[in-house]
Amino acid sequence: VVIADGYDVRPLTADDAPALAAAYRRNREHLAPWDPVHPEDFFTEEGQEALVDAQLARADQDLMDAWVLWYGEQVVGRINLNNIIRGVLQSASLGYWVDHEHVGAGLASGLVRHATARADEIGLHRLEAGTLVHNIASQRVLEHCGFELYGTAPQFLYIAGAWQDHHLYQRIINDHPAGAPVA
Ligand SMILES: CC(C)(COP(=O)(O)OP(=O)(O)OC[C@H]1O[C@@H](n2cnc3c(N)ncnc32)[C@H](O)[C@@H]1OP(=O)(O)O)[C@@H](O)C(=O)NCCC(=O)NCCS
């Protein structure tokens, strides 16, 4: 799916590990304040191969939906629908980032819009996202994409080595009955 001139969002595949490792190495400082602390092998091809395998296995079980943003041969972002829960919740949590050389061009907003369309396609009712309270750029993205702030959770996630407060956002995707057949 082309979200801007030259930028293509594609499903995660087993072949993506080398480009992902390179992207995480290029963006190590950019992402560090917003991410869990990663072990060193996170930044290697082998480490990414193992993570991609685990993520694809979760996708097979309808527990996640993983997408990669490509600019030519380079990975320049990701968006994941994490922790998909069916039953009466029909919800998932968004996680996303954009390469430091490509921020400020509306790409994250494009990724979130893509994930919203995708959530509808796979029969989810709701998406949620949590941002650090000082992550103004991410809050802007969510507001642009129709998400609303519904609360602030103290010590919500262990990010950059500490339990940190998060603003919680959600968007209702559709009102299909829970348990309706999924496409
Ligand atoms: C947050 C992030 C995904 C935004 O990506 P992006 O492609 O630049 O996002 P967009 O261009 O779609 O929108 C960014 C918005 O934030 C605004 N913004 C950016 N930095 C800002 C800042 N420091 N203060 C206030 N607003 C800011 C931009 O102006 C833009 O809003 P506008 O369209 O109203 O002008 C990117 O910076 C990133 O990857 N950060 C690190 C990882 C991260 O925070 N992920 C999200 C975790 S919840």
Rounded average pLDDT over 23-44: 98
The per-residue pLDDT for 74 is: 98
- Report the nearest atom of ligand 1 relative to the CA of 107: 7
Q: Is the pLDDT of residue 105 over 60?
A: yes
Distance CA 177, CA 172 (A): 13
pLDDT band (50, 70, 90) for residue 14: very high
Q: Is the pLDDT of residue 52 over 60?
A: yes
User: Within 6 Å (CB) of ligand 1, which residues are found?
Assistant: 31, 34, 96-98, 103-109, 129, 131, 135-138, 140-141
DSSP 3-state of 77: strand
- Give the closest residue (by CA) to ligand 1 atom 34: 140
Mean pLDDT of 15-43: 98
Phi (first) and psi of residue 150, to 5 degrees: -120, 5
Give the model's confidence band at 181: pLDDT under 50 very low, under 70 low, under 90 confident, else very high: low
The pLDDT value recorded for residue 179 is: 72
pLDDT recorded at residue 93: 98
Q: How many helices (H) and strands (E) does the chain have?
A: 5, 8
Percent of the chain past pLDDT 90, that is, above it, reads 97
DSSP track, 17-75: HHHHHHHHHHTHHHHGGGSPPPPGGGGSHHHHHHHHHHHHHHHHTTS-EEEEEEETTEE
| Protein residue with least CA distance to atom 39, ligand 1 | 97
For residue 72, is pLDDT > 80?
yes
Confidence bin at 33 (pLDDT 50/70/90): very high
Which of 120, 167, 174 lies closest to 143 in space, CA to CA?
Answer: 167
Mutate to test the pocket of ligand 1, among 9, 30, 34, 98 (most ligand atoms within 8 A of CB): 98
CA of 22 to the centre of ligand 1 (A): 22
Helix (H, G, I), strand (E, B) or coil at 175: coil
Tens of pLDDT, residues 149-162: 999 999 999 999 99
For the four alpha carbons of 161, 167, 173 and 178, in that order, the dihedral sign comes to positive
Neighbours of 1 (CB within 10 A): 15
| 182 — pLDDT class (breaks 50, 70, 90) | low
DSSP state of 145: T
Q: 91-98 and 126-132 as β-strands: parallel, antiparallel, unpaired?
A: parallel
